[in-house]
Amino acid sequence: MGGAELLMLAQARALARAGHDVSLACFSWEPAVWRARVEGLRVSSLDEPGWLRPLETAFAPSARRLAFVERALRGADLVVAHNAPASALAGAVAGRRAVWYCHEPPRLLYPRETQARAFATRSWRPGAPALSRRMALVSARVALEARLGGPWERLRRFDRRGVAALGAIIANSRLTAAAAREIYGRECDAVVPPMVEDPGPFERPPGLPSEPRIVCQSRLSPEKNTEIVLRGFASFAATRPRSSLTVIGAGGERARLERLARGLAVTFTGHASPETLERELSRAEVFAALPFDEPFGMVFVEAALRGLLVVASDHGGPSEIFDDGALAELCAPESPAAFADALARLCSRPAEALDARRRDAAAKARATYTSAVVERRFVQIIEGLA
């Protein structure tokens, strides 16, 4: 259950509340997980087995997927597509009736354009972070494809044709809009951020302890860069041994990250229920995450709304959310030392400055990203396109 799926559902609910007849279409879903959440909405699904998805994706597109999309979209006045390849398929089938809410262009097809900062870190050297090694593999794939050709160019052609046929593109951030402009050669029609639920007023003790409790909420995969958070925390905690770090999230990197964190005051919770997540965020004083090329980052807005002081990456969605560093400590995600320094800077700031930052970050998040604000704008834009 990812952020894109939850946002798609929130947008569907918003349009339904505005009086529109809304249905959902997906390639696969888990009724046990989603049935209560989608109550009152019609859902059609291809029920595509997980093992089949890579094979389906290798062809542009499979007849099976095209037939499903044609059935699902028949009779719709307007189609809002989310992640690729739904965007290209919607354009191919519905044409100008289709709108793409673009979380980001597909990274698999456009690694340089969507992961420019991570791409620059690529390295085979011993001890290189997992992300650097992954990007070295991607770089090798891109170079080999340039020489020999392959399926990726066929997929890119289908993707570009489908996106060119769309009636509009709505981007979730300025970074996403810029990437779409570079890849597809067209401006996005609007930038509308995701909807974030407002938890209401959140009181925090003034200032910040010199040895704070830090929380990191992230999927444990290389591009989320939790490795650098751990390495930087190790340096920071060497002189502040009562500091602690809680890592919330699951993923294939967990076992390796746990080995890296041995001997440190680090706790891994795995996937957290909403109640556990709320409890951990309430206990912490600082929220930290250093993703590369993050197009938005709802977790950063959720942290700001809860009065947490934030350390984040110095580019992409976090930079946009926190006004280029005015509302958070931003640092280079490539560097454990930069992260440790950012934590130290935060701890050295006067209590009055920290309290003002909490208030200002929460105020901006509430005025710009909460559901009450974004829902109205999203519905207005969709109604204007219908």
Checking if the pLDDT of 174 tops 80, the result is yes
Inform me whether the pLDDT recorded for 49 exceeds 80.
Answer: no
- Is residue 148 predicted with pLDDT exceeding 90? no
Q: Do 213-368 and 3-195+371-385 fall under one CATH topology?
A: yes
Q: What angle do CA 103, 286, 249 make, to 5 degrees?
A: 50
Distance from first CA to last CA of the chain, Å, rounded?
29
> Is residue 58 pLDDT above 60, yes or no?
no
**Averaged pLDDT score across all residues of the chain:** 91
| C-beta of residue 248 within 8 angstroms of C-beta of residue 281 | no
Q: Supply the pLDDT for residue 60.
A: 57
Domain topology for 213-368? Rossmann fold (3.40.50)
Q: So what's the pLDDT on residue 33?
A: 76
Residue 55 has pLDDT above 70, yes or no: no
Q: To which residue do tokens 């710009």 refer?
A: 368
Average pLDDT for 176-198:
96
List pLDDT tens digits, range 273-299. 889 999 999 999 999 999 999 999 999
How far apart are alpha carbons 309 and 359 in whole angstroms?
10
Per-residue pLDDT for 135 more than 50? yes
Tell me, what's the pLDDT at 256?
A: 96
Tokens of 192: 């509308």
Q: Among 6-20, 28-42, 369-383, which is the least confidently predicted range?
A: 28-42
- pLDDT score for 54: 53
Would you say residue 313 has pLDDT above 90?
yes
Percent of the chain with pLDDT over 90: 74
Confidence label for 311 from pLDDT (cuts 50, 70 and 90): very high
Tell which wins on pLDDT, 148 or 289: 289
Specify the CATH class of 3-195+371-385 in words.
alpha beta
pLDDT at 124: 80
The per-residue pLDDT for 93 is: 94
Q: Give the model confidence (pLDDT) of 243-264 as tens digits.
A: 999 999 999 999 999 999 999 9
Give the separation between CA 76 and CA 80, rounded to whole angstroms.
10
pLDDT at 306 over 90: yes
339 or 73, greater pLDDT: 339
pLDDT bin (cut points 50, 70, 90) of residue 34 is: confident
> Where along the chain do its domains lie?
3-195+371-385, 213-368
**pLDDT computed for residue 125 by the predictor:** 82
pLDDT at residue 59, as a whole number: 47
* Average pLDDT over every residue of 42-62: 63
Band the pLDDT of 64: cuts 50, 70, 90.
confident
What integer is the mean pLDDT of 154-162? 92
Give 321's contacts (C-beta < 8 A, 6+ positions apart): 296, 297, 300, 301, 304, 312, 327, 328, 364, 365, 369
DSSP-assigned beta bridge partners for residue 100: 81, 169
Q: How confident is the model at residue 51 (pLDDT cuts 50, 70, 90)?
A: very low
State residue 53's pLDDT score: 55
Kindly state the average pLDDT of the residues 153-170: 94
